Amino acid sequence: MSNELKLKMRDYDVKAVPTSIIDGNIKVVGIPDFPWVCGDDPIQKVEGAV
């Protein structure tokens, strides 16, 4: 694991894998229960759950 990756994990407070970071402000830990599709709908669904 590179130092760059370790720094990013620390900056985003990633403690579990898989973790997805979207636009630097939405964090999804684990396997999502919705499809990853390009567009605004998945992001709006995640933002509404926060």
How do residues 12-30 score in pLDDT, each as one tens digit?
Answer: 999 988 998 888 888 889 9
When pLDDT is cut at 50, 70 and 90, the band that residue 49 belongs to is low
Rounded distance between C-alpha atoms, residue 43 and residue 45, angstroms: 5
Within 8 A by CB and 6+ apart from 41, the residues are: none
Q: Which two tokens stand for residue 16?
A: 């579990």
- pLDDT beyond 60 at 7: yes
What pLDDT, on the 0 to 100 scale, is given for residue 2? 93
What integer pLDDT is reported at residue 10 of this predicted model? 94
- Give the ranges where the chain is alpha helix by DSSP (H): 3-11, 40-49
DSSP single-letter state for residue 31:
S
pTM here?
Answer: 0.58
Q: Which residue has the higher pLDDT, 19 or 36?
A: 19
